A and B are shown apart, each in its own frame.
Chain A
């Protein structure tokens, strides 16, 4: 079973890379309000049961993939 994990900085955390990307897009004439940079993972697990598998992926996020002080995450089945 395959899942995608999207990791984003929490709302109140400064995202200097996102700011630079935003400024550059504005310089290119793009029209945008805001942009935030994040991370993306794809993970494949052996578990066949979706609820159990999601629990495993959730555990992976909390134990290693995400720094919960500054980051939020979303898990989606793909």
Chain B
């Protein structure tokens, strides 16, 4: 499977995701944001970081960069697109995903391992997980407070487009386990065709027992499945 990681000035998880993809046997290429051609890819990743120093709004400038038109074209043709953290913010700024990520409710940058629940295990990104499986996974963000309008929220629920929800160790989704104030504890969502996933947690940080755990591996093995 061929993957392309888009690199923006200020991306800082681009190497991490590349290491994770290569470990999982993806044939990966790094693509600088000024490129205007995207090599044929089965998966495009928008990595975490602080593209353009979060100027204007997180992801706003990267969402208008030269390569983005190609990403939008590929996504509309069914290519799989994964946006992690800043990548999720960029996806909302391009309009490929609806909604937005507001400043964390407590105004703090949060970097810690939290739990999320797999809400839908029937997608290209999640088929190796069990439904309602609880993952321990790292978050590191200042703007991760998911917000959207009522119509979109209804659409997310009715069409099973919520990918992950913040929960506690037992899998209960409650206010105490919501780290950033996200609407209904939402940590990740799909577009209506389910070929685009945006998520605040970092699965690429959870692929090696030596440094963390392996709860992120099944996301990548799902893609290969």
Contacts and interface: CB of A to CB of B under 8 A. Distances in A.
Interface of A: 13-14, 16-17, 20, 63-65, 67, 69-70
Contacts of A65: 56
20 contacts: A13-B102, A14-B102, A14-B145, A16-B103, A16-B105, A16-B106, A16-B107, A17-B103, A17-B107, A64-B60, A67-B57, A67-B93, A67-B100, A69-B98, A69-B99, A69-B100, A69-B147, A69-B149, A70-B102, A70-B147
Interface of B (DSSP majority class): loop
Interface string B134-151: 000000000001011100
Nearest to A16: B107
Q: How large is the interface on B (under 10, 10 to 19, 20 to 34, 35 or more residues)?
A: 10 to 19
Contact of A13 (B56, B60, B147): B147
Contacts of B203: none
B201 interface: no
B152 to A, nearest CB: 9
Contacts of A70: 100, 102, 147
Contacts of A67: 57, 60, 93, 100
A67 B56 CA distance: 10
A13 B60 CA distance: 19
A14 B146 CA distance: 11
A72 to B, nearest CB: 14
Interface string B146-171: 01110000000000000000000000
Given A67-B60, A69-B98, A69-B147, 15 more contacts: A13-B102, A13-B147, A14-B102, A14-B105, A14-B145, A14-B147, A16-B104, A16-B106, A16-B181, A17-B107, A64-B56, A67-B93, A69-B148, A69-B149, A70-B100
